[in-house]
Structure 1
Amino acid sequence: AAGAGKSSLALQLIAFGARLISDDRTELRAVDGTLVAHPAPNIAGKIEARGLGILSVPAAPPTPVAALVDLDQIETARLPPFRIRRMLDVDLPLLHKVDSPSFAAAL
């Protein structure tokens, strides 16, 4: 959803050494039982930083998806239950957003 903090979380993860697959639009494909994220060609290597504009960052190649994070759901449990979401016939762990400054580092 708009304003959920996707780009902000992505920028924090990049600061911790992650690589950007894409901002806002990601193409997902199931390949041999693995969900693979591909950058949208027209925005690969670009991310919006609110208040700063569009930034250029190195784009990651197509990458297997390890987990899904629902930024619209806030995790309140100290030890949350294990959740699964199925996308394109692939089961993936589902995490909810944690309202903590260490959320990006924990991912």
Structure 2
Amino acid sequence: MSASSPTVHASAVLIGDRAVLVRGPSGAGKSRLVLELIWAGQAGPLDAALLVGDDRVHLEAREGRLWVRPATQLAGLIEVRGLGLRRLDHAASAIVGWVVDLDAPDAARLPEPSALRTVIDGVELPRIPVGAGYSALLLVMAALTTTEGATSQQVQDDCSKGIGNHISPTIATD
């Protein structure tokens, strides 16, 4: 990666062979989510997870992929509120596979397909918008361990018919 690439206000964690890039305003819980994902990797629900960077990371698009690496001064450090900066093993770089946006204003119970994608430096990536009151850890773990179950159009049609839930009676009784 280019030594001159600017840093962005984000954190990243490597899970398996892809990184989860976590964006959000200061105090939104980026560091906390990264720690929770690392612990989930240690406990078994997720593949092994390793810190890439906390608070400031470098991003670079290369050959159709987005790479992330820690800011040099912060490599291996993560802020734990109430304890200060703590040291963890970390990856030198990783390919970004997911983007999580904390405090996302477009987070919805049944998001539009366009809300679940983002483009960074010309690279399109899956996106998880997390709104106030949503569990970031639960959403990320669900995204990483499940697959889509229904088309967005079907969900929208059910809701517009006033069915009251996202599952139509015909689906539930088939």
Q: Which has the higher helix share?
A: 2
What is the rounded CA distance, in whole Å, between the counterparts of 2:101 and 2:117 in structure 1? Answer: 12
Q: Which aligned segments of 4 or more residues in structure 1 are displaced greater than 4 angstroms?
A: none
Identity %: 41
Among 108, 115, 120, the alignment partner of 1:76 is 108
Q: 1:28 Cα deviation (Å)?
A: 0.2
Higher Cα Rg, which structure: 2
Amino acid at match of 2:58: E
2:96 to 46, 65, 71: 65
Asked if 1:16 corresponds to 2:40, the answer is yes
Task: Find the residue that maps to 1:66 and give its secondary structure.
Answer: strand
2:69 counterpart residue number? 38
1:90 pairs, out of 108, 115, 123, with 123
* Aligned positions, number: 106
Deviation at residue 104 of structure 1 after TM alignment? 4.9
Deviation digits for residues 52-77 of structure 1 (CA, Å, limit 9, x no counterpart):
11111001121000111110216331
Partner of 2:161: none
Q: 1:84 to 1:103 in 2, by over 3 A?
A: closer
Which stretches in structure 2 are left out of the alignment for 5+ residues?
1-24, 42-48, 145-174
Out of 57, 72, 79, which is 1:26 matched to? 57
TM-score (norm 1): 0.88
Aligned partners of 1:35 and 1:64 also within 8 Å = yes
8 Å Cα contact 1:84/1:93 also seen in 2: yes
Task: Give the whole-Å Cα distance in 2 for the aligned partners of 1:94 and 1:72.
Answer: 13
Q: Is the Cα contact below 8 Å between 2:28 and 2:102 reproduced in 1?
A: yes
Taking CA–CA contacts closer than 8 Å with sequence separation of 6 or more, which of the two structures ends up with the larger relative contact order? 1
| Residues 85 and 92, structure 1, Cα contact 8 Å, conserved in 2 | yes
Per-residue deviation, 1:80: 3.0
Question: Residues of 2 paired with 1:73 and 1:60: CA distance?
Answer: 27
Do 2:128 and 2:139's aligned partners in 1 also have CA atoms closer than 8 Å?
A: no
1:53 aligned to 2:77? Answer: no
Distance apart, 1:47 and its partner CA: 0.2
TM-score scaled by length of structure 2: 0.56
**Is residue 70–residue 96 contact of structure 1 (8 Å, CA) maintained in 2?**
yes
